[in-house]
Structure 1
Amino acid sequence: MTPVRTRVSRLPLRIRLVAGFSAATFVVLLAAGVFVYWRVDYALDRGLDTELAQASQALDPLIGTDGTVTNRSAAEATGVAWQVLASDGTVLDHGGPAGTTPMVSVRQLGRVRDSPHTYNVGDFLPAAHQPYRLRVAHAGSSPQRYLLVGVRRDHRDEALRELLVQLSLAGLGALLVTAFVGERLARAALRPVERYRRRAAAIAAGNAELRLDVPPLRDDEITRLGHTFNDMLSSLEEALDRERQFVSDASHELRTPVTLLTSRVQLALRRPRSQREHEHILTELKVDLDRLAGLAEQLLQVGRVDSGTVVGSSNLVAVIGRVINQRRLADPADAGDVSVTRPSHPLPVGVADFELERILTNLLDNAVAHGAPPFQVAADEPSPGWARMTVSDFGAGMPPALLATGTQRFARADDARPRPGAGLGLSLVDALVGQAGGELRLCHDGRHSSHGRPAPVPCAHGPEMTVTVLLPTIAEAPETPAGT
């Protein structure tokens, strides 16, 4: 950036707007003035040229072979200055105000070829004493003789000078008026911006509840900016509230295992113990540390989901088969507790493989921890454009009060607190499904709770606890092994 542009960019916006508006107005006024001056100058010169042409037609037949006029009274009757010149610039004859000194130079005579040539003699500014407009042409048929005819330009030059003064004064006045009006308009247009700036400064100083004062009956760029800024502040405030709540809940949930670990260590240090007792204490500590590590991992997963959007695609049928196959291989004894119903054709959805695996894994872990076998996993396409996955169990289900809040972080029923888990599984599933544009439903014994974008699919009815994930389908998904 050049130093001039740097200095200009540091000026207040109002001054830059007025300067730009004034510069544009100056260019328009200058162009208009030049056009008007050119048209008037052309019209005045055309009138003089007509007079010169008429005088030349009257004088040309009067020139004799020796370069002098044959009828001087007729030549003087034209009322113009005239000279008959030789090719070397010698004045052969003259009349009117013209004297014996040639009014054009030899070089200017040399420019005259087949057609007449016009010259202006005398300066326009400052005004010359004897300004003339001259017309030079060959005299008769002789190429060695030239007829020069001239008329004074006093009235023409005076009219043009007066026009210049009037255009300059009118242009200066118009420029001042437009600069004043532009400054008023810029000040009025930027007044809401300055008001928004002061309010934003107050918000930044700590008054987070404040919002910009946006006129309700206006719809222009400034008011739309105000509405957008208010929406952004509301979103930021909601995000901060969620973060504060998350930190508070996480601190509360982490306090219990950390306190339990501290108590176990302090109890172990009270008296000397045998190697076997130390091994037993270490085993208990490992269980507590595993739970603490699992809670920390869930917190990290929730944080990662909150910081981005779900991208990618996968085949719902293939992912279900792979997850169930992995669980059966990891725990063959309970393999018969899970039944799977899925179509033979793929169901492509707009969720990445690993995100869809996490959704199904969390739902199965919840069912195993809080429900009772048999567990049922099903997938189908209940409506065009939608894929459905359900995970059901035949346990006690969720209490009615917990159905609506079950997807909140650390939400757990009272009887579920002694069991493993931190109440983050459904929260993570809800976040992933919501970011994919889907819907999560919790249904038990005829009661339902919906979260996310509603899908045109009826709810599940039955005594079992059913968690339904509805995801929009896409055109196609990458091929993945379906498992067994």
Structure 2
Amino acid sequence: MTITTRLTCFFLAMLLLVLVGFSVSMYGVADYYLNQQVDERLTAALNSICGMIETDAAGVEWEPGERRRVLEFPTYEDQLAWWIKDDKNNLIARSHDAEHTDITAFDNRNWQFAQRTIEATTSSSDDSQPMIGEASTKHAALIASAAISRKPVQAAQWQLIAWLVGLSSVVWLAAFASARYVCRWALSPVRSMAIAAEHIDFVDPSQRLPRVHTHDEVGQLTQAFNAMLDRLQESFERQRRFTSDASHQLRTPLTAILGHVDVALRHDRTDTDYQAILETIKRKGTHLSRVVESLLFLARSDREANLPRLVIVDLASWLPTYLTQWDDHPRHNDIQLDCDQSGCSRCVAQSELLAEILNILLENACKFSETGSPIVVSLNNDEDHILVSVADQGCGIDKGDIGNLFTPFVRSEQARQSGVEGVGLGLSIANRLAKTFGGDLTVTSERTRGSCFTLQLPKVSDDLMDD
């Protein structure tokens, strides 16, 4: 079932409920009004009839006389019947249309009745009984009865029902005829979005949904979907560049290894030549292994990269121990340690991976600075973080290259021109590891004056240490 059909059915169902509720309410109001009119007519007629009865202490007497014209009801005379009986159930008077003298002879469904008894008044100063004889017109009591027909009310009710049903049917059918068209028109932007989305493929990832110039949910959906497509295209382009660069970086050492093997197999060589070729193959193979390991690490998702077991590391005591690993490096004497032990120096990390971050930073500092220039490893802290910085006095980095410095396979212009070996993965790995520890890796640099990479790690509070 389409959205248009569901909306149409929902709208028609709600309209049907409204029409039924309106019709029932209108019928109830009209029924109350018509019955009230019948009651008022019947009460007025009964009052007029009782007005023709004379009452005194001697008895009750029916004396319409000249006032009989009051008993004529020209508006609804054919709908009204009345009669007067005495206390012995003898008929005294009746209307022209009162064929029945007994109230029970009328149909209760089609007639509405009212009855009133008029008795002789009594006086405390008169002990005698009323003078009622055969020749006398006095009666001990008279019973006035009236009945009014409900057929006009019933006819009006049926007519009202017919009008309500007819008008409601016309309105509902008109809504049925127009609701589907209105729903289709309202949902036409959604259909356009669906058609456009079906034609979007990765051959041309720049395709977007047509813009909807409305300020409603459909416009918001279009903007959100296009924003998602922008992010997907960016991710796709980044993945494509990553794949292309990775293929190039893997092909280069493989080509060198196969080239040396081909040269070695062309003719017999001395042991010294074979040893040189094997050393070259080993160096290229080691380089290829590092590239593969770096690619595997960067290919992991953030969930897989999270380390399950982290420990508290005191950097003030760990850094001097770590730098002893560089004692055999040719630039060991250029590396200096500036450790501020006045504040907290504890963080949560893994010492092996923390060493990998510093190895990457120190190797870059050694590559891009002159031998004999100082490389300073400093430890400081601020209110919330521990700061480990590696600063050199090398060639520096242009400001235009700093934004892409942590992107895989991206190397600065100075690195490419200097001829220093590298694949552009080290800083990407270091930045990924820093974020794994909940920290960050930043850089400040000035052309020809050197660079400073700073690793920010969250502090471990004293309360956590006590726990």
Deviation (angstroms), 1:246? 0.5
Q: Distance in 2 between matches of 1:475 and 1:185?
A: 63
Tell whether 2:453 aligns with 1:467: yes
Matched, 1:427 2:416: no
Q: Which amino acid aligns with 2:425?
A: L
Q: Which amino acid aligns with 1:340?
A: D
Report the CA distance shift for 1:288/1:205 in structure 2 as closer, same or farther (over 3 A). closer
Unaligned 5+ runs, structure 2: 54-59, 120-142
Structure 2 matches for 1:26-425, cutoff 5 A?
Answer: 26-53=16-43, 80-81=80-81, 97=98, 99=100, 103=104, 121-122=108-109, 131-134=110-113, 150-204=147-201, 206-215=203-212, 218-266=214-262, 285-304=281-300, 320-321=315-316, 324=319, 327-328=322-323, 330-333=325-328, 337-342=335-340, 344-346=342-344, 353=349, 357=354, 359-371=357-369, 372=371, 374-380=374-380, 389-398=388-397, 406-412=405-411, 413-414=415-416, 419=421, 421-425=422-426
**How far did 1:292 drift?**
2.0
Higher Cα Rg, which structure: 2
CA deviations 1:234-285 (Å, max 9, x no partner) are 2211111111110000000001222233345556666899999999877765
Shift in Å, 1:346: 4.1
Query: If the length of structure 2 is used for normalisation, what is the TM-score?
Result: 0.67
Asked if residue 18 in structure 1 is aligned to residue 8 in structure 2, the reply is yes
Farther-moved stretch of structure 1 (222-231 vs 204-213): 204-213
Structure 1 counterpart of 2:21, one-letter code: A
- Matched pairs, number: 413
TM-score (norm 1): 0.65
Whether the 8 Å CA contact 1:135–1:149 is kept in 2: the answer is yes
Q: Which residue number in structure 2 is paired with residue 3 of structure 1?
A: none
Q: Deviations over 1:32-89 (max 9, x none)?
A: 1111110110111122233445566788999xxxxxx9859899959745799xxxxx
- Aligned residue number for residue 457 of structure 1: none
Deviation, 1:376, is 1.8
Q: Deviations over 1:127-162 (max 9, x none)?
A: xxxx2234689999xxxxx99854211221122122
Structure 1, 274-283 or 290-299: larger mean CA deviation = 274-283
1:304–1:319 Cα change, 3 Å? farther
**Does the Cα contact within 8 Å between 1:381 and 1:387 map onto a contact in 2?**
yes
In structure 2, what is the Cα distance between the partners aligned to 1:348 and 1:32? 75
Q: Structure 2 CA distance, aligned partners of 1:236 and 1:287?
A: 38
Q: Assess, with a 3 A threshold, how the Cα gap between structure 1 residues 161 and 403 changes in structure 2: closer, same or farther.
A: closer
My pick for the range that moved more, 161-170 or 337-346, is 337-346
Q: Distance in 2 between matches of 1:104 and 1:293?
A: 115
Q: Deviations over 1:359-415 (max 9, x none)?
A: 545323422444456332335467x88875532123444578865654443234236
Rounded to whole Å, the distance in 1 between the matches of 2:463 and 2:287 is: 35
- Over the aligned positions, Cα root-mean-square deviation in angstroms equals 5.3
Name the amino acid aligned to 2:362: L
Report % sequence identity. 23
Check conservation: 2:439, 2:456, Cα contact below 8 A: no
Distance 2:401 2:90 in 1: 122
Q: Distance in 1 between matches of 2:404 and 2:32?
A: 87
**Deviation at residue 286 of structure 1 after TM alignment:** 4.8
Distance 1:137 1:299 in 2: 108
Question: Aligned letter for 1:13?
Answer: I
One-letter amino acid of the structure 1 residue matched with residue 26 of structure 2:
V
Aligned residue identity for 2:31 = D
Rounded to whole Å, the distance in 2 between the matches of 1:34 and 1:275 is 110
Instruction: In structure 1, list runs of 5 or more residues that go unmatched.
Output: 1-10, 63-68, 85-90, 106-119, 123-130, 141-145, 447-462
Could you tell me how far apart the structure 1 residues matched to 2:90 and 2:401 are? 122
CA distance in 2, matches of 1:475, 1:70: 114
